[in-house]
Amino acid sequence: MNKQIILKHRPQKSNHKIRKTCISNMISFKQLSNEEIRAFAGHEDFSTTVPYNKK
């Protein structure tokens, strides 16, 4: 007997949404400095990065 796997279509997340989630998690977990997170995000100032932490 063959079993069929039926996959429901799920909308893919945009690159920006994935990036926002990643940066938000970095801020929330408090394992990196603000400077490290800012540099990862490619922002000139951390104040640009802070809004990423709003869920």
**Residue 44 within a domain:** yes
Q: Please indicate, yes or no, if residue 6 is contained in any of the structural domains.
A: no
In this prediction, residue 2 carries a pLDDT of 57
Domain count of the fold of the chain = 1
With bands split at pLDDT 50, 70 and 90, how would you rate the model's confidence at 49?
Answer: confident
Q: Is residue 31 part of a domain?
A: yes
Q: How confident is the model at residue 13 (pLDDT cuts 50, 70, 90)?
A: confident
- Report yes or no on 2 lying in a domain: no
pTM of the entire structure? 0.68
pLDDT for position 1:
52
**Which distant-in-sequence residues (6+ apart) come within 8 Å of 53 by Cβ?**
23, 24, 27, 28
What is the domain extent for residue 32?
15-53
pLDDT digits (tens, 9 = 90+) for 24-42: 999 999 999 999 999 999 9
